[in-house]
Structure 1
């Protein structure tokens, strides 16, 4: 039978869905929140000498501190969102980022700065909070399209933010830019107050869910972990690899090579979503294969053209995989408490990122900057094989709701 989800504690009546403009507003707020979180960490080696670490030795560890604590807090905040309202928890995440950025910008010691990064991770978690908010209002293709748009916001921030931070550096140090960046999530929080508290119908029989089986849910978490690991493991030392293979290369060109996969996502994600909407399992397996091919191509690359080609192949695989994971996540969210599910998915994603960073550091130290891409190739091939052999263990694509929330 169909029952109404428990009412959320809110002063506003729950919304049956979100309009396209409202979804775009949520995506814009997520982009704004991601801007500082993704744009400033690459400049840690420039920030730390002023905080008592003259050689920036702690940069690698501090780079993953927010990710670790975001993973630790994701499930807690997701459950609280299901209990107290997704809009409240999304506002909390934006305000938490604003406070932590302010503390980071005002920190005058390494320990104070580290504490601010811990708070950034634990109090932030805008990705899980945003997805939980959307999943409480949308279903099926409307939700998967919105999740694809959220990933686009992250990719756009990843491309644009480091460029802007670098451009502002002659006038304002990256360390003090944290203070300015604190205004961005604060502005996003103000804008989000104008959006409704979402609510939707959840189809469940008495004492039993018709949603995705728990085994399929765990398969989704495993695929998320593997995909994030396979793609992220090549990121930390890519610039060093390019400069080693193409000596004297302009830093701007190296940065563009780094950004190419993310630009692919921005250009192709919408079309890919339409293409894979009803076959996300096959699309995910193909995405892993293309990621493996793209990463393997880094090994023989010794020219800008060769690197550009292999980065484009990686970008196609990354786009296909991320979009298919969004479609599968939308299917898994059907009939479930979205906060807890997306909190766990965020835990898997951040866990993959942390593992990738740690493995990349270890193999780079032992074998050089070419080793992480080979590890990523092996991981992607293994995951592709698992997807091919056990594709039925993943969630089925969700059917279109009879009254879609996205209008």
Structure 2
């Protein structure tokens, strides 16, 4: 929030920290940003599950490179996100958001017309380097919104990601009888191009966050408007990045071998039922995210601790569930943890964004998020190879449980202070 007054001995420093009043986006404009991310994510999220069908067309009959190529865009996206975020703060967030959408379109076109593994791999590298629409969208929103309004917008963005993750593979699979998933890359390039046209109609998200000192440089007498909101404990960027990494790792590690685990625990489960079980946590987020935001945006640490606990319980249950009702129940528990974690991390990120250049901050946050996904994928592959399909979920359980303690500790400090009086 912008500070309007300052104490006599801190006027200059407080003015430097407080962001200048930037344009506040209307609800329809926030929804437009989320909608653009949703349509641009269709190919990025919907086509990788079909790599085992795409690679034989490119000279890899056994699709042995599918696992490596699955994470190539994520790896290069993580490397490029902080760089693009800093450029957005310097040259304009809308301009860099447009760049991300157009970059995706170019990469999808190249992937759709690739005729060799080398060209297809180059397209996926370009997708990672030139994309970054999620971080770019968050940086755009972070320059115009603050506090609960920003955390709600970030929650909406995560909803767009979940919706694309659920719907895109269904659409791609439905189109496959008429157009191969490989060629669908070229067809779906029209989606980020359409998103770029819509973004062109949005206002520039200026605000005064760019290149400003962080809140730690403010004097102790900073006005109330510049302080974190009551009930939302201040979180350092390092803590936010660590929590983001741990959360993504503990949730994503269960994705790659879930179908194998279902077949191992419940032989004869239909592909449709397996698909529904895979989607359940994401559907849980879509159904409850806004209600969770209303309940926990003022106490995100508590919600995040509960989220990690639900993730640990849900993942541990995956290793023991031996019936369809039991597996459905543990997937819903995991969905509760996923929802609490994503919503409360959005609230903590909104708190950290105050007084900081949002492009750089959200770009760095995306680096740790994608890093968690890459490490989770590698850990899942290694665990599955040596110990079977239950190993990834047990590894995720251990990481989630280990993260509960440092997440809860800041909540106990006020109690310790009271008891010591």
Q: Same fold by TM-score, threshold 0.5 exceeded?
A: yes
Q: 1:208 aligns with which of 217, 224, 227?
A: 217
Residues 2, 201 of structure 1: 8 Å contact kept: no
Looking at CA atoms only, which structure, 1 or 2, has the larger radius of gyration? 2
The 1:240–1:33 alpha-carbon spacing in structure 2 relative to 1, beyond 3 Å, is same
- Residue 391 of structure 1 deviates from its aligned partner by 5.1
Q: 1:346 aligns with which of 366, 386, 391?
A: 366
- Residue 207 of structure 1 deviates from its aligned partner by 10
Residues 211, 332 of structure 1: 8 Å contact kept: no
Match of 2:268 in 1: 248
Q: 1:311 aligns with which of 331, 344, 350?
A: 331
Unpaired stretches in structure 2, ≥5 consecutive residues = 1-13, 219-225, 414-421
CA distance in 1, matches of 2:86, 2:208: 19
Unpaired stretches in structure 1, ≥5 consecutive residues = 8-13, 394-407
The 1:206–1:58 alpha-carbon spacing in structure 2 relative to 1, beyond 3 Å, is closer
Q: 2:386 aligns with which of 366, 381, 384?
A: 366
CA distance in 2, matches of 1:112, 1:97: 16
Q: Does 1:2 align with 2:15?
A: yes
The 1:392–1:178 alpha-carbon spacing in structure 2 relative to 1, beyond 3 Å, is farther
- Residue 211 of structure 1 deviates from its aligned partner by 7.5
Residues 2, 204 of structure 1: 8 Å contact kept: no
Q: 1:174 aligns with which of 146, 170, 181?
A: 181
Match of 2:64 in 1: 57
Helix, strand or coil: the match of 1:297? helix
Aligned pairs for 1:171-320 within 5 A:
171-201=178-208, 208-209=217-218, 216-320=236-340
The 1:291–1:205 alpha-carbon spacing in structure 2 relative to 1, beyond 3 Å, is closer
- Residue 204 of structure 1 deviates from its aligned partner by 6.4
Q: 1:144 aligns with which of 137, 141, 151?
A: 151
Residues 101, 181 of structure 1: 8 Å contact kept: yes
Residues 111, 123 of structure 2: 8 Å contact kept: yes
TM-score normalised per structure 1:
0.91
CA distance in 2, matches of 1:3, 1:328: 22
Helix, strand or coil: the match of 2:217? coil
CA distance in 2, matches of 1:172, 1:161: 15
Poorly superposed stretches of 4+, deviation over 4 Å: 3-7, 201-207, 209-215, 390-393
Q: Does 1:121 align with 2:128?
A: yes
Residues 74, 370 of structure 2: 8 Å contact kept: yes
CA distance in 1, matches of 2:317, 2:235: 35
Q: Does 1:75 align with 2:82?
A: yes
Match of 1:321 in 2: 341
- Residue 248 of structure 1 deviates from its aligned partner by 1.3
CA distance in 1, matches of 2:320, 2:203: 52
Residues 151, 349 of structure 2: 8 Å contact kept: yes
Residues 281, 391 of structure 1: 8 Å contact kept: yes
CA distance in 2, matches of 1:215, 1:206: 11
Q: 1:107 aligns with which of 103, 114, 132?
A: 114
- Residue 385 of structure 1 deviates from its aligned partner by 1.4
User: Could you list the per-position Cα deviations for residues 98-136 of structure 1 after superposition, in whole angstroms to 9, with x for gaps in the alignment?
Assistant: 000000000000000000000000100001000000000
CA distance in 2, matches of 1:310, 1:61: 29
Q: 1:334 aligns with which of 354, 361, 377?
A: 354
Report the aligned-residue RMSD: 2.1
The 1:251–1:206 alpha-carbon spacing in structure 2 relative to 1, beyond 3 Å, is closer
Residues 104, 113 of structure 1: 8 Å contact kept: yes
Helix, strand or coil: the match of 2:201? coil
The 1:231–1:90 alpha-carbon spacing in structure 2 relative to 1, beyond 3 Å, is same
TM-score normalised per structure 2:
0.88
- Residue 15 of structure 1 deviates from its aligned partner by 5.4
Residues 92, 206 of structure 2: 8 Å contact kept: no
CA distance in 2, matches of 1:346, 1:201: 22
CA distance in 2, matches of 1:377, 1:207: 35
